[in-house]
């Protein structure tokens, strides 16, 4: 093939929508990955874990401009958590497959903005947080759609047109019928995949949740709040718990006669730290703390807040 013919061939195949393919692939894979990671994470639906969606929502509610809404949603953290995870998978698949691409883009924008208003709201300067960038990254797909490139909707439309034996020049009535049938088919396929996926995914996520997952103990005025039986926390181990005020925290048992507890909120910007033994690590910007809660690596520069505990009749209680 001569270079001129090759150039003509490339020009025939070129479509402006091809320019959006890398963005579609990146957003699609990232959102599917993010959603599946949540569904497969045993801590995600554990209300007692500082890494769970319940603890993260309670923390975000204290700083978010939509705190009241987040706080109410935290009362239904299992449903909210599953909706977030399946929403991410759905918009990711929509972008990858070219199925309701504009709807998927709108969903992606709404998810990213809700993350920006909650988990990323305290990030300074604002452009260090990824969620605002994700919200804007979805906008080209909302405006332009998939342009018919690698698009299940376009293939369905072509199949409908063949079935009706229509050409591209058919009148408005014929085109309307094609669109109606395409929408119906795409909707049925999406609904069937969503029903099976949500049922299987919810069962998997709930099965992976620790059996003792529960809401934090209710505080009875005047009564000590029991965190755990001392014998249940082996020397050298830790236990995550949610304090009666809803704050995620960790109980440590570093030596035979010593129990310590710390608020799990990182003193940098409040992300929940995780206990990595024998210290803590913050997943947001990498701060580390030793098992006494003291900073061993920034950017945090203040120790973790201590929760006073003591052992009473074999029970570790908050004093
Ligand atoms: S929130 Fe920034 S290091 Fe923890």
Per-residue pLDDT at 165 exceeds 70:
yes
The answer to which of 76-85, 239-248, 292-301 has the lowest mean pLDDT is: 239-248
Q: How far is the CA of 165 from the centre of ligand 1 (A)?
A: 61
Per-residue pLDDT at 2 exceeds 80:
no
In a domain, 216, yes or no: no
In a domain, 123, yes or no: yes
CA of 285, closest atom in ligand 1: 3
What's the gap between Cα 261 and its chain centre?
28
Nearest CA to ligand 1 atom 2: 285
Burial 40-52 (b: 16+ CB within 10 A, else e): ebebbbbbbbbbb
pLDDT at res. 3:
66
Spatial contact of 230 and 239, defined as CB atoms under 8 Å apart: no
Q: How far is the CA of 271 from the centre of ligand 1 (A)?
A: 6
Report the domain count for the chain: 2
Is 204 in the same domain as 229?
A: no
Looking at residue 247, which CATH number applies to its domain?
Answer: 2.102.10.10
Q: How far is the CA of 177 from the centre of ligand 1 (A)?
A: 55
Nearest CA to ligand 1 atom 1: 269
Is 204 in the same domain as 235?
A: no
Is 76 in the same domain as 174?
A: yes
Last residue in a domain, options 144, 175, 208: 208
Any idea how long the chain is?
319
pLDDT at res. 273:
84
In a domain, 85, yes or no: yes
Is 204 in the same domain as 238?
A: no
In a domain, 200, yes or no: yes
The chain-wide mean pLDDT, for the chain, equals 85
pLDDT per position as a tens digit, 185-216: 999 999 999 999 899 888 888 887 766 544 44
Last residue in a domain, options 208, 240, 270: 208
pLDDT at res. 168:
62
pLDDT at res. 214:
45
Q: How far is the CA of 288 from the centre of ligand 1 (A)?
A: 9
**Interatomic CA distance for residues 190 and 156, integer angstroms:** 13
Q: How far is the CA of 298 from the centre of ligand 1 (A)?
A: 8
Task: Give the residue, 142 or 51, on which the prediction is more confident.
Answer: 142
Is 306 in the same domain as 189?
A: no
Question: How far is residue 280 from each of residues 40, 115, 277, 298, measured CA to CA in Å?
Answer: 23, 24, 7, 12
For CA atoms 67, 45, 33, 108, give the dihedral sign.
negative
Is 182 in the same domain as 272?
A: no
In a domain, 251, yes or no: yes
Contacts of 299 (CB under 8 A, 6+ apart): 268, 285, 286, 287
Task: Give the residue, 222 or 174, on which the prediction is more confident.
Answer: 174
For CA atoms 128, 130, 132, 133, give the dihedral sign.
positive
pLDDT at res. 52:
80
Residue whose pair of structure tokens reads 């949603």 in the numeric block: 73
Is 125 in the same domain as 243?
A: no
pLDDT at res. 91:
97
Q: How far is the CA of 287 from the centre of ligand 1 (A)?
A: 6
Is 86 in the same domain as 184?
A: yes
Three-state secondary structure readout of the chain: CCHHHHHHHHHHHCCHHHHHHHHHHHHHHHHHHHHHHHHHCCCCCCCCCCCCHHHHHHHHHCCCCCHHHHHHHHCCHHHHHHHHHHHHHHHHHHHHHCCCHHHHHHHHHHHHHHHHHCCCCCCCCHHHCHHHHHHHHHHHHHHHCCCCCCCHHHHHHHHHHHHCCCCCCCCHHHHHHHHHHHHHHHHHHHHHHHHHHHHHHHHHHHHHCCCCCCCCCCCCCCCCEEEEEHHHCCCCCEEEEECCCCCEEEEEEEECCEEEEEECECCCCCCECEECCCCEECCCCCCEECCCCCEEECCCCCCCCEECEEEECCEEEEC
In a domain, 259, yes or no: yes
**Interatomic CA distance for residues 129 and 210, integer angstroms:** 31
Is 169 in the same domain as 301?
A: no
User: Ligand 1: which of 60, 122, 262, 271 to mutate, most ligand atoms within 8 Å of CB?
Assistant: 271
pLDDT at res. 236:
84
User: Ligand 1: which of 125, 263, 268 to mutate, most ligand atoms within 8 Å of CB?
Assistant: 268
Is 158 in the same domain as 297?
A: no
pLDDT at res. 170:
66
Nearest CA to ligand 1 atom 3: 285
Owning domain of residue 109: 16-208
263 strand-pairing partners:
249
| Pocket residues: Cβ below 6 A from ligand 1 | 266, 268-271, 282, 284-287, 299-300
Is 121 in the same domain as 250?
A: no
- Rounded to two decimals, the pTM is 0.69
In a domain, 214, yes or no: no
Q: How far is the CA of 228 from the centre of ligand 1 (A)?
A: 28
Spatial contact of 35 and 86, defined as CB atoms under 8 Å apart: yes
Strands 280-281 and 274-275: antiparallel
In a domain, 6, yes or no: no
CA of 270, closest atom in ligand 1: 1
Q: How far is the CA of 235 from the centre of ligand 1 (A)?
A: 28
Structure tokens that stand for 25 in this block: 């692939």
Spatial contact of 135 and 109, defined as CB atoms under 8 Å apart: yes
| % of the chain exceeding 90 in pLDDT | 35
Spatial contact of 156 and 186, defined as CB atoms under 8 Å apart: yes
Range from 136-140, 176-180, 261-265 that averages highest in pLDDT: 136-140
pLDDT at res. 135:
96
Is 32 in the same domain as 128?
A: yes
């Amino acid at each position: 093939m001569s270079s001129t013919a090759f150039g003509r061939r490339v020009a025939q195949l070129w479509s402006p929508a091809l320019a959006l393919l890398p963005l579609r692939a990146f957003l699609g894979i990232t959102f599917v990955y993010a959603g599946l990671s949540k569904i497969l994470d045993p801590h995600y639906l554990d209300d007692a874990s500082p890494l769970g969606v319940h603890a993260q929502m309670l923390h975000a509610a204290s700083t978010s401009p939509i705190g009241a809404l987040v706080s109410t949603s935290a009362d239904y953290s299992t449903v909210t958590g599953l909706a977030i995870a399946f929403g991410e998978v759905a918009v990711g698949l929509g972008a990858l497959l070219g199925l309701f691409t504009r709807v998927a883009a709108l969903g992606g924008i709404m998810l990213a903005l809700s993350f920006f208003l909650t988990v990323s709201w305290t990030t300074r300067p604002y452009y260090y947080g990824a969620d605002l960038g994700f919200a804007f990254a979805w906008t080209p797909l909302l405006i332009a759609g998939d342009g018919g490139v690698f698009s299940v909707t376009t293939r369905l439309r072509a199949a409908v047109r063949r079935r009706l034996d229509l050409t591209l020049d058919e009148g408005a009535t014929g085109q309307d019928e094609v669109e109606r049938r395409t929408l119906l088919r795409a909707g049925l396929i999406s609904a069937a995949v969503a029903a099976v996926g949500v049922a299987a995914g919810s069962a998997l996520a709930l099965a992976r949740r620790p059996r003792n997952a529960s809401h934090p103990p209710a505080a009875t005025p005047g009564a000590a709040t029991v965190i755990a039986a001392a014998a249940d926390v082996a020397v050298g181990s830790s236990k995550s718990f949610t304090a009666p005020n809803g704050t995620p925290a960790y109980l440590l048992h570093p030596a035979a006669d010593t129990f310590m507890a710390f608020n799990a909120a990182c003193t940098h910007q409040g992300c929940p730290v995780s206990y990595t033994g024998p210290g803590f690590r913050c997943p947001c910007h990498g701060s580390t703390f030793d098992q006494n809660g003291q900073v061993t690596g920034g950017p945090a520069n203040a120790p973790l807040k201590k929760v006073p505990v003591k052992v009473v009749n074999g029970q570790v209680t908050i004093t």
